[in-house]
A and B are shown apart, each in its own frame.
Chain A
Amino acid sequence: DSGVTQTPKHLITATGQRVTLRCSPRSGDLSVYWYQQSLDQGLQFLIQYYNGEERAKGNILERFSAQQFPDLHSELNLSSLELGDSALYFCASSSRLAGGTDTQYFGPGTRLTVL
């Protein structure tokens, strides 16, 4: 158990809908990262937040957005869902922002299926 929790574990929805994935980082970790793992595109970095602020952005679609709240939990919002958005979405957390080694601890993931 990494200490990172993600809810829900599974989500099934229809095209065009909007969903919210939730992540609670390990106690004391200020950084939260979101990743998408799909069959055709592999593991892709989406976005990083540190103490409520966006710090790094990867291949995140405009239909996707994220935020980190004062209690440090984070939410990933996916809207206008398409079939291709079906994937396993991971959240990871770490203690550092930059400088030195930053080890990320991954949550169990949320499996999103878009029908």
Chain B
Amino acid sequence: AQTVTQSQPEMSVQEAETVTLSCTYDTSESNYYLFWYKQPPSRQMILVIRQEAYKQQNATENRFSVNFQKAAKSFSLKISDSQLGDTAMYFCAFMSIISGGFKTIFGAGTRLFVKA
């Protein structure tokens, strides 16, 4: 069975600095998708960034980028120039294809505090 592990329950970073959130996963599949979602205090789930496993190039979205190491089954999120609005819970998610549908497994989350 697939598992997703986020080993950092909480992290804090000073505004304008860079922070990296770690995520590892376990799977025997070769084709899958990885995501980072942000959940602010409003509890809305917001997609931050996604990565297809077959792509070697790391995904980037403005201040957010990932370090995808397929062999190591690692998928970390780097937030550059941290802003107060980045304060949220961040979830790493693994999506696999099963029986013609998609199944997503989420990590336990990392709570990020951005300090002024």
Contacts and interface: CB of A to CB of B under 8 A. Distances in A.
B101 A97 contact: yes
Interface residues of B, number: 24
Interface string B92-105: 00010111111111
Contacts of B50: 101, 103
A3 interface: no
Contacts of A42: 106-109
A64 interface: no
Interface string A76-115: 0000000000001010101001110111111011000000
B33 interface: yes
Nearest to A109: B43
B102 A48 contact: yes
Contacts of B102: 31, 33, 48, 55-56, 94, 98, 102
14 contacts: A2-B44, A33-B102, A42-B109, A45-B103, A48-B101, A48-B102, A92-B45, A97-B100, A98-B102, A101-B33, A101-B50, A104-B47, A108-B43, A109-B44
Interface of B: 33, 37, 43-47, 50, 52, 91, 95, 97-109
